[in-house]
Amino acid sequence: MQDLRPDPNKIAFVASTARDAEEALERLSLRYGAVEPDDADVVVALGGDGLMLQTLHRFIDTGKPIYGMNRGSVGFLMNEFAEDALVERIWNAERSVIHPLAMTTVDIHGEKSFALAINEVSLLRQSFQAAKLRILVDNHERMGELTCDGLLVATPAGSTAYNLSANGPILPLNTPLLALTPISPFRPRRWRGALLPDRVPVRIEVLEAPKRPVSATADHFEVRDVAQVDIVMDRTRSMVLLHDPGHSLDERILREQFGE
């Protein structure tokens, strides 16, 4: 069996621009040595969840595992920060494999855009007027018109982020589901969203798009004035997160459901 443990001489460090993160980067690089990311067996990310998402996007096609340590504010995706025994922690870490969502948009001018989302794809109204959206799942219309502030499709890894704030369900990491969650739905007033098989494509059409403009965002990539958004899980791409034993992403998601 292939040894998946990283070479202790092949660790790369990346950090956010926060002072604590930059200082940690300097100390850890001196203590453990540092190589360029292209030459690394593992990448250590120092910052918060925003930095972790940027790092996952940066190395999405490399297969390099990412071990995060919290030098930010939230740090749901990160391990606790400690400078000692870093190599041993990485060697003993639990691996979580996640897949991104692929978002393809067409705007009101016919221009197409493509982006990947690790947490969610969200649609939001751009003006004072509510958005009107048509929802198709697996090429079948499921809702002819949803009047709302917006709508999002979240992965299990992203279900505790924006999705949870919008009262969407928390999904265990290994569940083959996506959360389809409305944002401030007005009509149908009592609709609270749906759980979808992660193998099916989702299409959102913006009704009255020029009059009721809507933006679409895949993590940090935004497209404005969209007319149509197609979303599907891309299983050809995968990312590996490393977490200390007992603090895996699965365990964190489970704890979040009990308010821990």
Measured in whole angstroms, the distance separating CA 84 from the mean position of its chain's CA atoms is: 29
Could you say which DSSP state residue 38 is in? G
Was 26 annotated as part of a binding site?
Answer: no
Was 163 annotated as part of a binding site?
Answer: yes
Pair 52, 22: CB distance under 8 Å = no
Active site residues: 49
Was 15 annotated as part of a binding site?
Answer: no
Was 165 annotated as part of a binding site?
Answer: yes
SS3 42: strand
Was 164 annotated as part of a binding site?
Answer: yes
> Which of 236, 226, 254, 220 has its CA nearest to residue 52?
220
Was 83 annotated as part of a binding site?
Answer: no
Was 157 annotated as part of a binding site?
Answer: yes
Rounding to the nearest 10 degrees, give the CA dihedral for residues 161, 241, 66, 151.
-30
Was 147 annotated as part of a binding site?
Answer: no
Was 119 annotated as part of a binding site?
Answer: yes
CA distance 5 to 196: 35
- Is residue 80 exposed (0-12), middle (13-18) or buried (19+ Cβ within 10 Å)? exposed
Was 12 annotated as part of a binding site?
Answer: no
Was 209 annotated as part of a binding site?
Answer: no
Distances 70 to 45, 48, 51, 186, 239 between C-alpha atoms, Å = 8, 6, 10, 38, 19
Was 160 annotated as part of a binding site?
Answer: yes
Instruction: Output the known binding site.
Output: 49-50, 119-120, 149, 157, 160-165
Instruction: Output the known binding site for NAD(+).
Output: 49-50, 119-120, 149, 157, 160-165
